[in-house]
Structure formats: C-alpha cells, structure tokens
Amino acid sequence: MTDSPAALLTIAGAILLGAMSPGPSFIMIVRTAVVSSRLSALAAAAGMGVGCMIFSVIALAGLHSLLALVPWLYTALKTAGGVYLLWLGCRMLFRRGDSAGSLAGGVSAHHPGHAFFTGMATQLSNPNTAIVFGSIFAALLSQHISPYLYLVLPAMAFCIDTIWYALVAWLLSAERPRQAYMQYKSRLDKVSGLVMGYLGIRLILR
C-alpha cells in the first residue's frame, strides 16, 4: 500500500483496535474514572493520547529499528516499563484505607496534571508498542511517504487514543458506576492490582 486514504483508514483502525484491547492503559483509565474526578480521568485520557503520539513519532523516525537491533536497550526499556506496571499493581493491591479521592498509583484526584503524567507513563511503559507501530507503518505505507504524514500520523494517533479513553472515562465517571465500584472496591482493587502486576511481570520476562 502507498500513503493513500485507504492506508490511513487501515492504520486508524489498527490504532483504534489497539486502544480498545484490554491492557494496563485500559485498567488505569477505568480505575481513575471511578475513583477520581471526571476532569482527572479526562486528563489521564489525554496523557494516553500523548503516549500513543510519541510512539508513532518514534516509529516514523525509524527508532523502532534501533530497539530491535540493540537488544540491551530494548531489554532495559522493557524492564523499566514492566517494573513500573508492577509498582502500580502493588500500590493497588496493598494500599489500605485509601479514599475515593485517589488515583491508580496513589495520585490525588485533585491534581489532573498528575493524572495526565500517570496516563502518559502507563502508555509508554511498553516499548513493544513502538515496534508494533513501525510494523504497521512499514506494511501499509510506501518507503518514502509524503512529508505531511509526519504530522498527520502522530496527530491521528493522539486523537484516536484520546477520544477512545476519554469516552471510557466520561461514561465510567458517572454516579452509578462510581457507586457500583465503591460497593466492591476492595475486591476490584485487588483484581486490578493482580492483573497490572501480572502484565508487568509478563512484560519483563517476555
């Protein structure tokens, strides 16, 4: 494929499917939405979008090839991301007596800026995403793409991820989901912590 509208639509679909698939980012945004303010949840969604945009820029710059060719760099980034996810999981699993005003990772709900950076860090915790982006671009775009795509593709990645996670955040920050969460808060926090920790360990060992 060349850099045609059909190729761009296919890339957009792949990015959307990746955003919709369950993973650390989804867990983080869901928990932020139900325990924090709607503003903080939307800020976290914007952070997810920025993380996705950064990965698309890395892929367009060809740095995903560097990660594949330099094993120690890839392993270091992957391990750091896995440790971060494991840390988030442990915070969810072992924290006691936290109020409904705390984010995943223990960030105050009254600081949307912290939620933004937590969302971005969670999105950036898996360097595999950069390689996936590179593979998608290589498969669907020509070798020498039009200069405007260096702006369009990152902007598209940002918009798709941000809109999807903002929709999730908006829906789950309503009063009914909050009340349902608070009824089973302890159990849900433990399940979320275990899943997040598992994903972190899996990323380290993969």
* Cα–Cα distance, 12 to 153 (Å, whole number): 9
Residue of 137, 141, 128, 120 whose CA lies nearest to 68: 128
Between residues 151 and 95, the one the model is more confident about: 151
Query: What is the reported pLDDT for 46?
Result: 96
Query: What is the reported pLDDT for 139?
Result: 77
Query: What is the reported pLDDT for 103?
Result: 39
Q: What's the domain range around 119?
A: 5-205
- Secondary structure of residue 54 in the 3-state scheme: helix
pTM given for the model = 0.78
What total of structural domains would you count in the chain? 1
- Sorting pLDDT into bands at 50, 70 and 90, what band is 116? very high
Between residues 22 and 29, the one the model is more confident about: 29
Q: What CA dihedral angle connects 81, 84, 88 and 93, to 10 degrees?
A: 100
* Cα–Cα distance, 143 to 192 (Å, whole number): 42
Answer whether 34's CB lies under 8 Å from 172's CB.
yes
pLDDT in tens, 63-99: 767 777 778 888 888 888 888 888 888 887 776 544 4
